[in-house]
Amino acid sequence: MKKTILISIMASAVVFGAEVTSLTENMTNTIKNGTLITNSSTVEQGKTEITGGDSKVNGLTIMDKDRGNVINSIEISSGNIDQGKTKVNNGKISNTNITSDSIMRNGDVDGSSVSQGKTEVMNGGVLYNTKIVSDNKIQNSDIQNSSDVSQASLSINNRAKNTNAELAGVDIKSKNVIRGLTIDNSNVKQSNIELNGDGVVVSNLHVEHTNTINNNDITNSNVTQAEILIKGNAQVRDLTHKVTNEIENGSITDSSVEQSLVEISGNTIANTIDVGATNNIEGTDIENSSLVSQNGVYISNSKVNNLNIRQNNSLKNSTVTSSTVSQGDTIIGDTIIE
């Protein structure tokens, strides 16, 4: 019998208006075998949320490794799925280790939103001296009908007045895989970073990602791997980003694909940004007005000091028909670079 899940918060840590020192959790969360998630329903597995200005967490360890978050053989239609999400909303979290595995396989994602291993800091939230490691997989599950899928995304936004959203001394590492399915009329993002807004202050952020899309047909869709957006008066210092992006053994039709995009804009101040990117596309047919970009750098209306980008872009054993492929584009406008 199919079951409809309205709201499910599974083995999550939520701290509101409290002070917590030395908290350890080890969790396993599973949904499987014929379950139906539909009608704007929400499922959350392994969420860590720190919210409220009086919330302070020091010495938090959360482990949902070794198949910690599993969704197997289910249908998701007009639903919302979060696996392994970390959210800091106007709270403070420090000296923390969060490790998660998230797996979705043998089902369909239809007109739905799915995130795996997402990290959000917002509205005066603070994240200090923290390590986040995630292993995210989507296998044999079609993504279609205006679905949005993200793996290991990092978002820092600030809408709170007279306060900063801060991140310092943070290491994020992930392996992200999408394999053996169709991506149709949808948006897919792997390990994207967005640092956006007044009061966003980031220092000593170290990120390492491996992103793989394998045996997939991508049609009428937007796919990005390892996009870095720094904008809206954000201040960023000492950002290190190492990434390997791979797309193999499939097709790209009437779609946009970007591997390792760096965009700095909107009166941003960026000091010491180091990006090392390896982008590979192999055994893939690119056709019907598709746009494929490997390692684009776009900088405007900002001040940038010490920007170092190393890139290795490869397209091999593939066919390009009535499409555009660009490698290593750099465009700079109205910007001071020192």
2 lies in some domain = no
**pLDDT exceeds cutoff 60 at 47:** yes
Between CA 9 and CA 43 the distance in angstroms is 6
Residue 3 confidence (pLDDT) above 90? no
> Are the beta carbons of 110 and 141 closer than 8 angstroms?
no
**Residue 230 placed within a domain:** yes
Per the domain annotation, does 1 fall within a domain? Answer: no
* pLDDT tens-digit readout, 123-153: 888 999 999 999 999 999 999 999 999 999 9
* Joined tokens for residue 297: 């750098």
Indicate if the pLDDT at residue 62 is higher than 80.
no
pLDDT of residue 53: 72
Q: What is the pLDDT of residue 36?
A: 77
Q: What is the token pair recorded at 70? A: 């599993």
In Å, how far are 6, 114, 251 from 102, measured between CA atoms? Answer: 21, 11, 26
pLDDT at 179: 95
Q: Would you say residue 108 has pLDDT above 60?
A: yes
Domain residue limits at 225: 7-337
Tell me what percent of the residues of the chain surpass a pLDDT of 90: 62
Kindly state whether residue 174 falls inside one of the protein's structural domains: yes
What lies within 8 Å, CB to CB, of 119 at 6+ separation is: 85, 86, 87, 127, 132, 153, 154, 155, 172
Which has the higher per-residue pLDDT, 5 or 81? 81
Most confident of 21-25, 88-92, 313-317, 332-336: 313-317
The pLDDT tens digits of the residues spanning 264-296 come to 999 999 999 999 999 999 999 999 999 999 999
* Mean predicted lDDT score pLDDT of the chain: 88
pLDDT value at 18 more than 70: no
* CA nearest neighbour of 205 among 164, 241, 175: 241
Number of domains in the chain: 1
CA distance 303 to 270: 6
Q: What is the pLDDT of residue 13?
A: 54
pLDDT higher at 24 or 30: 30
